[in-house]
Chains A and B, each alone.
Chain A
């Protein structure tokens, strides 16, 4: 390392500090925007430092510059367009695609570095390290796995767990091939071996995500996020760049923490989730199955009466809300109730939706102030003094069966919706939730079922309440 590049490394340290401070500022919604700006400043600093290195080095050919600049411009344009036009309900897919390209870029750094060393006679063995190999494997797994995850979230690939006979054997075989060939690369310089490692890892990524069902997506996205971070850190080792190492480690830590939080919130181990989802998947049953005699069904007017004369209402949103794009309707209803002096808050289960914190973003988009969005542990004691709990498109996270041992969701932390004085559940049909389990909440004598699409239900409820109080 020459004196000049050492000095540039110092600029990278500054960039890394910006990333840490930026993330620290995300501890509160009030400072989070500034956090993002500090983080952007760090990225600009890192970008400038890299350009200084490239220019000072002077070995980049004219073609090289054209390739780099056009690549960066095209990528930026694509990223900008996607980020500006994406709907908030589709953010999980976008995040997954960014994971994918990030992991892919990290893998390419390793591929290039191996290719480059291989063409220098005798150079490859000395410079092939465990980091090159890890970068290759993790980056490739993330690349293909995230594409599958995005496909599932977008609905291009079925959301239900896809498991076929022998799929686990294929997984195992791919892992063995990838790791075995990678080990071989240490002793023999071989581009075909590199190709085999990449292909086996890509295959493994696909096979790893396919059997995971839609409702487990918060865990998967967090895990792939952690993978991307790790791959980027490995790329940092490969090219000896501190900024990549620090940034990658930060992302790896963040993804790891979120993965654990999400898995805990479902009371399932990571292994359990990756090995395969519950039997039935989370497809919302379209058939309005036979309504059990014990279930009480009500219309918009009755629900409106209950809501309009309550003094405290808690709204419990779930994935059904996102699927029906009903966030604005919910916010409008909440506003109408608030204007009547009713205390309205929203109970947010950690795994509601398709990525960590998904519901918060949707409701924020619909203009719900964030102090009204209350986390599970804080809202649970409130249900007992709540007049109406309005459940919209949430299922398993409200099922009291979780408190009893001996079923699929036993031990999973739930929202204590059944403690409320009365409960209104908005649901399209009596279809089961992700766990394939009957929700005991629906058979509670205090519960009324309002069968409708969430968005339509919100419009009907809002106008019914307005007519009632006019």
Chain B
């Protein structure tokens, strides 16, 4: 058994243990985003797909590299985007209902005059409503 293989195996086992430790604490509320996030992380196989390109110098190699690149890129980009979409929805307080937005935003603006940068964020997380 080569040294490189022993190193690889060590990394693998330690990463498994780290994974168990870190992920065991994720609350059930976040299980879907967690799965989706780990889903995007295995999109790292894109690196493997691209590295095929180093030695691919004939049609078979090109075809395999192409399919692998398409698959892995779809995995990584789609995975992160859908995870982001999901996580954006998790709010601590309900966002202001559209009907009363006019009144809310006015109060929100007054209270947030000093924090312009936060205005957009405040609208999203519903700080305006919390203060009204």
Residue of B24, B67, B82, B94 near A91 (CB, 8 A) is: B82
Q: Which of B22-42 contact A (CB under 8 A)?
A: 22-42
Bitwise, B51-86 to A at CB < 8 A (1) or not (0) is: 111111100111011111111111111111111111
Nearest chain A CB to B114 CB, angstrom units:
24
The distance from the CB of A217 to the nearest CB of chain B, in whole angstroms, is 12
The reply on B49 being an interface residue by CB < 8 A is yes
Contact of B48 among A49, A79, A105, A253 (CB under 8 A): A105
**Is there contact, CB below 8 Å, between B38 and A246?**
no
User: Contact at B22–A39, with CB atoms within 8 Å?
Assistant: no
The SS class assigned to the A binding surface is helix
Given known A-B contacts A99-B39, A360-B32, A54 and B54 have beta carbons under 8 A apart: yes
Whether B53 pairs with A65 at a CB distance below 8 angstroms is yes
A26 to B62 Cα, complex, angstroms? 38
Min CB gap B124→A, angstroms: 11
- Residue A356 interfacial (CB < 8 Å): yes
* Residue in contact with B30 in the complex, picked from A19, A98, A357, CB distance below 8 Å: A357
CA of A109 to CA of B50 in the docked complex: distance in angstroms?
10
In the complex, the answer to whether B45 meets A244 with C-beta atoms within 8 Å is yes
Q: In this complex, what residue of B is CB-closest to A238?
A: B48
B102 is an interface residue with CB less than 8 A from chain A: no
Q: How far is the CA of A226 from the CA of B22 in the complex (A)?
A: 15
Task: Name the distance in Å between A150's Cβ and chain B's nearest Cβ.
Answer: 13
Interface centre among B54, B60, B84 (most CB of A within 10 A): B54
- Contacting chain B: which of A68-76, A154-162, A166-174, A395-403? A68-76
What band does the interface of chain A fall in when counting residues whose beta carbon is under 8 Å from B? 35 or more
Verify if A274 is at the interface (C-beta below 8 Å from B): no
Contact at A76–B62, with CB atoms within 8 Å? no
**Residue A188 lies at the interface, judged by CB distance under 8 Å to chain B:** no
Q: Are B57 and A29 in contact (CB-based, < 8 A)?
A: no
Range of interface residues on B (Cβ < 8 Å): 35 or more
Separation in Å of the B78 CB from the closest CB of chain A?
3
Q: Kindly specify which of A30-38, A298-306, A310-318 makes contact with the partner chain.
A: A30-38
B49-A105 in contact (CB<8A)? yes
In angstroms, Cα B66 to Cα A73, docked, is 11
Residue of B13, B42, B57, B73 near A229 (CB, 8 A) is: B42
Give the shortest distance, in Å, between B112 (CB) and chain A (any CB). Answer: 20
Residue of A nearest to B32 (CB): A357
Answer whether residue A269 sits at the interface, using C-beta atoms and an 8 A cutoff: no
B46 part of interface (Cβ distance < 8 Å): yes
A463 within 8 A of B: no
B45:A78 contact, CB within 8 angstroms = no
A370 partner, pick from B43, B80, B90, beta carbons under 8 A? B90
Q: Using Cβ atoms and an 8 Å threshold, which residues of chain A touch B45?
A: 102, 105-106, 109, 232, 235, 244
Given A71-B68, A250-B18, A368-B94, do A47 and B47 touch, yes or no (CB 8 Å)? yes
User: 15 A-B pairs, CB-CB below 8 angstroms?
Assistant: A23-B23, A29-B87, A39-B40, A64-B53, A67-B65, A71-B65, A75-B73, A82-B78, A98-B43, A102-B43, A106-B42, A112-B52, A242-B11, A254-B35, A371-B92
